[in-house]
């Protein structure tokens, strides 16, 4: 008997029962009044999570779909694009822009680190003729467990007119993000990370300034065309058939997020990060990302001795039904990733730390049973006295 899986991936993430039940409803007419009210409600709710009063469209799509949607709507072939990459997803955004005809200059930073705003400032200041049309960046780099200071990067751009487009698929709802306040033009997200609903919805928020660019855009598009999307949204509809069941789920998830409060959600994720890092350090484990850039959505843990992460993951799954993510590309087997975003509780993390101690001991690593759990328990106790 192993019971329900402990799903600790950086997406898909666990689904609350309330959300599962909300989705278990009959279909309705997506061109009728009931859907209109629901769409208007969830559009407002997701805007609230973004911190924007500007435009938002919801698509049936994975996260990558809306990355592509942002490229075809806001980047024209031949546009100069500055792509800032700190990992797999930063690279992906750059590749999509390239595939749709942009002249991409990609600046890569060491994996585990964040974009250096000073370097951005240097590049931007050299662009006297304002040739750079768009800057691409990842909010939370899921492949490395590091995050970027989007506010600082925007400040480093001063009054340069380039659009700032941010992949916040795994960051939104887990890390602080303030689209309007920070001056972000386009921000992409998805359902299966911090939103606590299954994969299948993509969110695209964009400023009116981005919309002006869109009107002059020459890239090919049809399904993703934001003009069509906005025209339908005015009637309380989507241009094409929406993922109605997922929108039922989104509606309930937004209620849960409002009950908890966005600031509390962001704090909770920060506490998870600190608790996990402190506990695993007691076991002698190290991380790909330094403390300074460590994401609150997930922790990328280096395998002791440089390899064997997949063995640990395999045993965690076989023995305890705990699903952890592996490393991507050349980080395969070098590290494993613990997702702690969305519907994850302290208790889940305590359980994972306890299980990891057993598996590591069984695998021949020197760990003191209870050392990590003890640290985590103390962390939780200290939190409760602080409140
Ligand atoms: C999950 C994720 C995506 C999108 O992945 P899909 O598999 O297409 O949903 C994009 N960017 C980041 C940073 C992500 O974490």
Contacts by 34-39, CB closer than 8 A, 24 or more apart: 35/236, 35/237, 35/242, 35/244, 36/235, 36/236, 36/237, 37/236, 38/247, 38/248, 38/251, 39/233, 39/236, 39/237, 39/238, 39/242, 39/247
Structure token pair of residue 156: 């480093």
Answer whether 348's CB lies under 8 Å from 332's CB.
Answer: no
Closest CA to 75 of 45, 49, 95, 48: 95
The pair phi, psi for residue 135, each rounded to 5°, is: -115, 125
Q: What is the pLDDT of residue 116?
A: 98
Using most ligand atoms within 8 A of CB, pick from 90, 186, 190 the residue to mutate for ligand 1. Answer: 190
Residue ranges and CATH numbers for the domains of the chain are: 6-12+261-384 (3.90.1150.10), 17-259 (3.40.640.10)
From ligand 1's centre to the CA of 117, what distance in Å?
Answer: 23
Cβ neighbours of 169 (radius 10 Å): 28
Are the C-beta atoms of 288 and 338 separated by less than 8 Å?
Answer: no
> Please, what are the averages of pLDDT over each run of 10 residues along the chain (387 residues)?
85 97 98 98 98 98 98 98 98 98 98 98 97 98 98 97 98 98 98 98 98 97 98 98 98 98 98 98 97 98 94 96 96 97 96 97 93 98 82
Q: How far apart are alpha carbons 358 and 127 in whole angstroms?
A: 55
Q: Which atom of ligand 1 is nearest to the CA of 171?
A: 13
Q: Which atom of ligand 1 is nearest to the CA of 193?
A: 1
pTM for the structure as a whole = 0.97
The ligand 1 site (C-beta within 6 Å) comprises 11, 62-64, 89, 138, 142, 167, 169-170, 190
| Mutate-to-test residue for ligand 1 from 68, 167, 169, highest number of ligand atoms within 8 A of CB | 169
With both helix axes pointing from N to C terminus, report the angle between 208-216 and 63-74 in degrees, rounded to the nearest 10: 60
Contact 39, 56 (CB under 8 A): no
Q: How many CB atoms lie within 10 A of CB 332?
A: 12
Is residue 382 within 8 A of residue 299, CB to CB? The reply is no
Which pLDDT does position 64 carry in this prediction?
98
């Amino acid at each position: 008997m192993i019971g329900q899986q402990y799903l600790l991936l950086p997406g898909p993430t666990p689904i609350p029962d309330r959300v599962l039940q909300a989705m278990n409803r009959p279909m309705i007419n997506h061109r009728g009044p009931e859907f209109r009210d629901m769409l208007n409600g969830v559009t407002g709710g997701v805007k609230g999570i973004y911190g924007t009063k500007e435009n938002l469209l919801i698509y049936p799509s994975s996260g990558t779909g809306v990355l592509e949607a942002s490229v075809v709507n806001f980047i024209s072939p031949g546009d100069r694009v500055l792509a800032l990459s700190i990992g797999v997803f930063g690279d992906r955004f750059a590749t999509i822009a390239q595939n749709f005809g942009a002249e991409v200059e990609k600046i890569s930073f060491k994996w585990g680190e964040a974009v250096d705003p000073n370097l951005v400032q240097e590049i931007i200041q050299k662009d006297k003729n304002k040739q750079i049309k768009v800057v691409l960046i990842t909010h939370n780099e899921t492949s490395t467990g590091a995050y970027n200071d989007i506010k600082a990067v925007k400040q480093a751009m001063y009054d340069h007119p380039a659009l700032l487009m941010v992949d916040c698929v795994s960051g939104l709802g887990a890390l602080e993000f303030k689209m309007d306040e920070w001056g972000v033009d386009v921000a992409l997200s998805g359902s299966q990370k911090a939103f606590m609903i299954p994969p299948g919805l993509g969110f695209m928020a964009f400023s009116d300034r981005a919309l002006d660019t869109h009107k002059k855009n020459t890239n090919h598009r049809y399904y993703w065309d934001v003009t069509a999307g906005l025209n339908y949204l005015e009637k309380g509809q989507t241009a094409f058939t929406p993922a109605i069941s997922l929108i039922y789920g989104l509606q309930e998830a937004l209620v849960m997020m409002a009950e908890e409060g966005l600031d509390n959600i962001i704090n909770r994720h920060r506490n998870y990060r600190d608790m996990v890092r402190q506990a695993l350090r007691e076991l002698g484990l190290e991380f790909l990302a330094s403390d300074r850039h460590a994401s609150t959505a997930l922790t990328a843990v280096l395998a002791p001795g440089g390899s064997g992460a997949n063995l640990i993951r395999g045993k965690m799954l076989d023995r305890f039904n705990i699903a952890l993510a592996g490393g991507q590309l050349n980080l395969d087997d070098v590290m494993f990733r613990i997702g702690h975003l969305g519907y994850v509780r302290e208790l889940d993390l305590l359980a994972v730390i306890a299980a990891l101690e057993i598996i590591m001991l069984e695998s021949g690593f020197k760990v003191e049973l209870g050392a990590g759990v003890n640290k985590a328990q103390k962390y939780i106790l200290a939190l409760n006295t602080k409140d």
